[in-house]
Amino acid sequence: MRALEKFREIFAQRHEYAREWKANHDGRVAGYFCIYVPEEILYAANVLPVRVIGSREPEDVTEPYITGWWCPHTRSALAEALKGRYDYVDAIMIGNSCPHIFQTFFSWSRNLSPSLAYDFWVPMNLRNPSALEMMSKQFKELQDTVEKWLGKSITRDDLRQSIATYNDNRHLLHQLYELRKKDEPPISGAETMEITLAGMVTDKENHSRLLRETLKELEDTNSHRDPGVRLLLLASEFDDVEVVRFIESLGATVVIDEMCTGSRYFWGPPAPTDGDLMRGLVDRYLNRPSVCPHKDIVERYRLPQIMRFIEEYRVQGVVYLLEKFCEPHGYDLPKLKALFEARGLPFILLEVDLTTPVGQFRTRVEAFLDIIREKAAIG
């Protein structure tokens, strides 16, 4: 499909895209490490928010800056910056994330000297009664900082239009995910992941336009592709589409995911475009139906969302892609595994590293899928 190819191209050439956007819009670019950074405030100020993502290339430049047993994502992201691939980024921002990502943020800000390095504070218990007031102060402080940085004000209309643009984009992504509930999903998990990732590195209006084209093409397509085994994908920060494509090539389809480069990025109700705009935006960020493991315990919010996904998308098995050395997601693992085993839901854990050849997982994944097929045949 033509639109799908455009998403793939945007993500593959994300650095070139951002440089071109910056030149054409006379704007600035902010790289962010965590989806709790409120992009709407940046976008309202003509700043392009870009998710900082690594690559599958081996790296040997980060050892003087961060320890070798930090997770591969953080080391790869810093390596990309040290190699000059993010030289178009004017500001970097973090959302009170794990120590690994914070060290990358700190090393980047200290050694590459962006014009703005902002640590956006996020409460650890997002539903605590005091969280709304505290986060409201943080949102206002961010707005004040951005205005001072740029030397201009963010008007109410700027913010309202930005919120509307993001609401529209999230609504379209919801529509895309709904299609995957079908008996024969017209789009694969890898293709969906490419679309979502492209949305993190491109202008939301452009992304929404391409999404509409994609949804129209999918509506006009009669898919007769056998999805094989229907999988739920859980993961740490994960942006390696090739791993998902490999798993699906063995006779499966990732029909749903629960990760910050997938559903967790956009899921939930829209922010209001009237009344107290900032308060409504804060409320949306605090009340997402799924929460990062670094922000809260799994049983409270993340687990109910996972269980809803399993039921609504008729999941037959769970694949957990655990980034090497990822402590927050590793802490959740025993509880999730026990839950899936109690429900008789097949589960497999794959420890991933950006530079690890995906072929090493073939035998384990094939055996895992065979178990699910045998279970389905007996049932």
For the chain, give every domain's residue range. Answer: 10-152
Give the pLDDT of residue 224: 67
**Contact status, residue 218 vs residue 179, Cβ threshold 8 Å:** yes
Contacts of 324 (CB under 8 A, 6+ apart): 71, 72, 351, 352, 353
For 139-171, the pLDDT digits (tens) are 999 999 999 999 999 999 999 999 999 999 999
Length of the chain: 379
User: The domain 10-152: what is its CATH number?
Assistant: 3.40.50.11890
DSSP strands (E only) in the chain: 28-32, 47-51, 91-94, 116-119, 229-235, 252-258, 317-323, 347-352
The one-digit pLDDT tens for each residue of the chain (379 residues) are 577 889 999 999 999 999 999 999 999 999 999 899 999 999 999 999 999 988 877 788 888 888 877 888 888 899 999 999 999 999 999 987 888 888 899 999 999 999 999 998 888 778 788 888 999 999 999 999 999 999 999 999 999 999 999 999 999 999 999 999 999 999 999 999 999 999 999 999 999 999 999 999 898 776 667 899 999 999 888 888 999 999 999 999 999 999 999 999 999 999 999 999 999 999 999 888 888 777 776 667 788 899 999 999 999 999 999 888 877 777 888 888 888 988 999 999 998 886 677 788 899 999 999 999 988 876 5
For 98-130, the pLDDT digits (tens) are 888 888 999 999 999 999 999 988 887 787 888
Give the pLDDT of residue 183: 93
Give the pLDDT of residue 192: 97
Give the pLDDT of residue 223: 66
Structure tokens at 146: 């951005």
3-state secondary structure at position 343: coil
- For the chain, the straight-line distance linking the first and the last C-alpha, in angstroms and rounded, comes to 37
CB atoms within 10 A of CB 23: 10
Give the pLDDT of residue 17: 95
Give the pLDDT of residue 379: 56
- The model's pTM: 0.94
Give the type of residue at 281.
L
CB atoms within 10 A of CB 56: 16
Distances (CA, A) of 69 to 76, 346, 360: 12, 30, 21
Give the pLDDT of residue 298: 66
Give the pLDDT of residue 220: 75
